[in-house]
A = this chain, B = another copy of it.
Amino acid sequence: MPHTIYMESPLEDRILLAHGSGGKLAHELIKSRFVPAFDNTFLSRLDDSAVIEVSGRLAFTTDSFVVSPIFFPGGDIGRLAVCGTVNDLAMAGAKPLYLSLALIIEEGLLQSELSRIIGSVREAAREADVEIVTGDTKVVNRGSADRLFINTAGVGLIPHGVNISGHNARPGDIVILSGTIGDHGIAVLSQREGLSFSAPLQSDCAPLGGLVAGMLKISPSIHCLRDPTRGGLATTLNEIAEQSGVGIRIEEEKIRVRSEVLGACEMLGLDPLYIANEGKLVAVVPPQEAGRVVEAMRKHQYGKDAEIIGEVVAEHPRRVVMKTILGASLIVDMLVGDPLPRIC
């Protein structure tokens, strides 16, 4: 690698291999950046594991984030890494509690960029009311990674009486979507490809623990919750249909898509049903509770555009069928291929 790549700024402003060595520079990085940023008694002990007191049914999940670029309109890889795992916990009906944070950094990342991302992690964790209690930092040589990858794992506590799973959809249940689709995928894509829109388009990246808590307060008997990330709404609905062995019918006209997202999709030959979201959820609820759940969702900033978009049926098990605006019935399959790699 040519040394000139380092000349843009002094050596000490960049992450070096030794920051991942486990030795002095690694300790300095941890003590000067991570411990103060995520100020809590678990992390600051600097033992090999965090020790937490919990009792009951725990949700446990993990996700790695490889989004490119690492900064995008409405968020960055740090905010995404917190929201993604918080949301996977929330989709089990759990109250998200504790997160781990593991970084794989490509040598040469600017320290200022790392600081900005750690700041985003801290802010998102604060908003989601979770603590970063344990972590790991690895640095690989230039060309062996793409700037920064982040893994978060998380644990959360599932309240008594809550039993949410993709297996629980029953014919007659109502399908609710919390808001517009495609915002995250198109925001990242626009940043990556240098597209610009007349109105600024932002990722919807947000922690959904609070929204879910509000929904469960109204209806602890929600059957399924899932966030339509990679593969989009179409793939998520297919997963639920598959796991529960039921059919799902949705109505195209009930699905909200921002005009900028629709425009970008038309231009690029993409279908918003398959575009990733990072701050949306699909809920499958018993019919008698649907109205009240939607009402509760609309009171929350991340559910204000919630709509009933369809229902669970006994017919065409394992298939999702959409009634289009023009009145046709289309089978909506799971995503095939990958039109937008590295979106999260």
Q: Which residues of A contact B (CB under 8 A)?
A: 17-18, 20-27, 45-66, 68, 87-89, 91-92, 94, 98, 100-104, 133-136, 138-141, 143-146, 149, 151, 153, 155-156, 158, 165-167, 226-227, 229-231, 235, 239, 243, 274, 276, 334-338, 341-342
Contacts and interface: CB of A to CB of B under 8 A. Distances in A.
Contacts of A26: 230-231
Given A21-B335, A104-B149, A153-B153, 15 more contacts: A22-B230, A22-B276, A23-B334, A23-B337, A26-B230, A45-B166, A49-B60, A49-B92, A51-B60, A58-B155, A60-B133, A60-B155, A61-B100, A140-B341, A141-B341
Interface of A is mostly: mixed
B334 A62 contact: no
Contacts of A89: 48-49
A100 B22 contact: no
A50 B54 contact: no
Contacts of A135: 62
A153 B88 contact: no
Which of A17, A45, A64 has the most chain B CB atoms inside 10 A of its CB? A64
Contacts of A134: 60-62
A338 B235 CA distance: 44
Contact of A51 (B45, B48, B59, B65): B59
Contacts of A167: 45, 47
Question: Oligomeric state, in number of copies?
Answer: 2
Nearest to A91: B48
A77 to B, nearest CB: 12
Which of A25, A101, A227 has the most chain B CB atoms inside 10 A of its CB? A25
A23 B342 contact: no
A53 B63 contact: no
Contacts of A23: 230-231, 235, 274, 334-338
A27 B145 CA distance: 25
B88 A235 contact: no
B155 A155 contact: yes
Nearest to A107: B341
B337 A62 contact: no
B48 A227 contact: yes
Nearest to A225: B48
16 contacts: A18-B337, A21-B230, A22-B229, A23-B334, A23-B338, A24-B334, A45-B165, A45-B167, A49-B88, A54-B55, A60-B100, A62-B102, A62-B134, A62-B135, A66-B140, A102-B151
A45 B140 CA distance: 35
